[in-house]
Amino acid sequence: MKARIKSLAKEIKSEIIGVRHSIHSNPELSFQEENTAILVENYLQNLGLETHRISGTGVWAMINGELGEGKTIALRADLDALPIQELSDKSYASKNPGVMHACGHDVHASSLLGAAKILCSLKSEFKGSIKLVFQPGEEKLPGGASLLIKEGILNNPKVDAIIGQHVMPFINTGNVGFRKGLYMASTDEIYITINGKGGHGAMPHLCVDPVATAAQVIVSLQQIVSRKAKPILPTVLSFGKINSNGGATNVIPNSVSFEGTLRTLDEQWRAEVKDLIKTLVKSTAEAFGATADVRIENGYPYLKNDESLTSKLWGFANQYMGEEHVEELDIWMAAEDFAYYSQEVPACFYRLGTRNEQKGITSAVHTNTFDIDEDAIEDGCGLMAFLAYSALQE
């Protein structure tokens, strides 16, 4: 079967690259993926599949094996793009100003369509079902995965396991990566406002300086990571935006707002650290004579790859790719809403290598120059199909 799937993947490679170009050149923001959803629906319907909408712009469909009932394996791809202006001279560059597929979701969607085509041609040779899930809104809270779960995507029929594939520009094309257990971090958004008393920069004694207070708060918050977090527990607390709300070189403003992100890999510690942040911010502001407003918006949970499922899929990947082409991934402190699925059913989220230094394809995701080595599309389609087929044989 490996040889057959490899042959089918090679056969449809150019077609799926064309699908990827169509999606890439017409990116749509989170929960606005209407045209992308229509493209997916049309492709699946041309394969003879019945499509269903979920959460507005989500699409799902079933491939039922003809050898009888069995397990249901879900394959998931995401559809949304990012608010980034693409810097590219490629013919398939984004046609939508300020919107770009900078995280590879065009690759995920087109690869899953390719896997669907392969699996449709094999359905007379397996029992059980494949549930194809094309999800909106991965890049925007509350995360499309959480909405799909609430609407029953993991039921009717009940999903026994779910598999997700994501591009990785730090892995060379021709390789893939797996990790068992904890893999990606939870993520929460932090919004803080320090309220002081503004005035002339030359008379700070008459003011309550929110700038100095905010600076002290940001520095003090790092003590939570260095002195409160267990050294063996990865924790990231970063602030990437600060606004003095009207200050100038000689004007102390009335308030300062800043925003950041909290990431970790333990839910109990995640809850504790949010309480520590609120307490420290308010007490530090009070010490400077200011007040503070703290809002922490809960984001995605940590992502855990099921040990048993991932071990099996890792073995199947070794068979399909060759052991020398399957890498062990490090823990990554980025976040993914696929984590919601991993909290509900056995899940495996693996990486597809898309890097090619000889072709100059090295940009990271979420940058305006991101692109992939499209030779990876063949593995993107074939491996996902092989993993699903093999999982059903267990």
Task: Name the token pair of 188.
Answer: 């929460």
303 in Cβ contact with 338 (< 8 Å): yes
Query: How sure is the predictor about 97, in pLDDT bands with cuts at 50, 70 and 90?
Result: very high
Task: For residue 82, give both structure tokens.
Answer: 């990012």
346 forms bridges with which residues in the sheet?
none
Answer whether 263's CB lies under 8 Å from 186's CB: yes
Instruction: State in words which class domain 2-185+302-393 has.
Output: alpha beta
Distance CA 113, CA 119 (A): 10
| pLDDT band of 218, cuts 50, 70, 90 | very high
Q: Which CATH number does the domain 188-297 belong to among 3.30.70.360, 3.30.70.141, 3.30.565.10, 3.30.230.10?
A: 3.30.70.360
pLDDT at 207: 97
Confidence of residue 127 (pLDDT cuts 50, 70, 90): very high
Confidence of residue 91 (pLDDT cuts 50, 70, 90): very high
Percentage of the chain modeled with pLDDT above 70: 100
How far is residue 46's CA from residue 40's CA, in Å, rounded to a whole number? Answer: 10
Cα gap 99→272, rounded to integer Å: 37
Contact 144, 78 (CB under 8 A): yes
The mean pLDDT of 246-273, rounded to a whole number, is: 96
Tokens representing residue 119 in the block: 């699996």
- Both tokens assigned to 243: 């606004």
Residues 265/271/277/278 CA torsion (nearest 10 deg): 160
pLDDT in tens, 305-335: 999 999 999 999 999 999 999 999 999 999 9
Q: Kindly tell me if the per-residue pLDDT of 42 is higher than 90.
A: yes
| Cβ-Cβ contacts under 8 Å for 386 (sequence gap 6 or more) | 1, 2, 5, 316, 319, 320
- Using the Cα atoms of residue 87, residue 30, residue 373 and residue 354 in order, give the sign of their dihedral: positive
Q: In the structure, what pLDDT confidence band is assigned to residue 244 with cuts at 50, 70 and 90?
A: very high
What's the Cα-to-Cα distance from 146 to each of 137, 157, 246, 336, 339, rounded to whole Å? 10, 18, 38, 11, 9
Residue 254 pLDDT exceeds 90: yes
139 is catalytic: no
CB 320 within 8 A of CB 178: no
> From the candidates 86, 374, 378, 389, which is the catalytic residue?
374
| DSSP string for 195-221 | E-B-EETT-GGGSB-HHHHHHHHHHHH
- Region 201-210 average pLDDT: 96
Which of 43, 183, 300, 302 does the annotation list as catalytic? 300
Q: What is the pTM of this model?
A: 0.93
3 state DSSP class of 176: strand
Confidence of residue 394 (pLDDT cuts 50, 70, 90): confident
Q: Which residues in 346-377 are b (16+ Cβ under 10 Å) and which e?
A: bbbbbbbbbbbeeeebebebebeebbbbbbbb
What does the alpha-carbon distance between residue 247 and residue 238 come to, in Å, rounded to a whole number?
Answer: 23
Q: What are the boundaries of each domain within the chain?
A: 2-185+302-393, 188-297
Tokens (6 digits) for 78: 């995401």
pLDDT at position 245: 84
Q: Token pair 């799902």 is at which residue?
A: 60
125 is catalytic: no
- Quick one: pLDDT band at residue 220, thresholds 50, 70, 90? very high
